[in-house]
Structure 1
């Protein structure tokens, strides 16, 4: 529950979660603030895809790039962001992001409201379970949290940009 107490979270003290190649540290949890804002530090390896193309129904997302080369696709527009750049992704827009560089990318991410934390924890458990999560399971889970995942766009996106992912991939269409 949120309080009016001062909260200090030091590096490494946040909850560690990964979904595919995206490493996250939850620095300020949604329940830590009366306004339900979440602040995370995310890391992506070189050529790593952060998420399949998706739409948040309820959350706005703000990235502040700390290190590396972040590429963001919103609808059909592709933009590069470098250290010191901010990227604002409003709810209701199809988007994805990846590390186009040869070194890890690191960013601070603000989610408002921060309900996606629960999705990240559940997706981490599903993918890391070792039971071979398939794309349909990941899509079903996302829908429970107000996300629309466009897994059908992954193969072309990854091939066009030379990306890799630890996410379950849809079967290739013949």
Structure 2
């Protein structure tokens, strides 16, 4: 099996990882691009009841989500599904997507990002931006209109949008939009 010269043996025990505080969301970095030679990043995301990510599009990487606990809803372009523990979905680059807690208990997913490209650093920088005093904390609100947020999104090849389907998803599941 081929390996990359930059990959190193990495062990992350249960409950370990680099915790990145993101208000209303969160990220636990399990594997980084640095430790995998750029092949993959693995990030765990807790989903509090009522949480939904902002609708966004990646231009450089694909996301593969594995549901660990709870019921998590996914919308990628015109496709929508709710998955329970063990469910997996791939959200290809270029598709506008969002994820939400579709149940009545906290949920968690493991996000496998390919290629790694250092994308896990987006979560670090987003957490710093949100705790730095930049105003706004909801999609379409002042944060998404700020120059700092636009610069961060562009740096990581992300675009954000408010698709026609977002209000319907928020209403059907009684959600509170987040900032991711």
Structure 1 and Structure 2 fold alike (TM over 0.5): yes
The alignment partner of 2:121 has SS state of helix
Deviation, 1:152, is: 6.7
- Partners of 1:36 and 1:93 in 2: how far apart? 21
The 5 A counterparts of 1:1-174 are 3-49=6-52, 51-114=53-116, 115-133=118-136, 134-137=143-146, 138-151=149-162, 156=167, 157-167=169-179
CA distance in 2, matches of 1:58, 1:94: 13
Structure 1 126/103 Cα, relative in aligned 2: closer, same or farther at 3 Å? Answer: same
Distance 1:152 1:93 in 2: 12
Q: How many angstroms apart in 2 are the aligned matches of 1:99 and 1:78?
A: 13
Q: How many residues are matched?
A: 166
Are 1:13 and 1:27, in contact at CA under 8 Å, matched by a contact in 2? yes
Aligned to 1:31, what secondary structure does the other structure show? coil
Contact kept in structure 1, 2:43 and 2:120, CA below 8 Å:
no
Q: Is the 8 A contact 1:57 1:147 kept in 2?
A: yes
Partner of 1:171: none
Compared CA separation, residues 140 and 120, structure 1 to 2 (3 A): same
Quote the RMSD (CA, aligned, Å): 2.2
SS in 2 for 1:167: coil
Normalising by structure 1, report the TM-score: 0.84
TM-score (norm 2): 0.82
* Rounded Cα–Cα distance in structure 1 between residues aligned with 2:178 and 2:97: 18
- Structure 1's unaligned 5+ residue stretches are 169-174
User: Structure 1 residue 55: deviation in Å?
Assistant: 0.6
CA apart distance, 1:77: 2.1
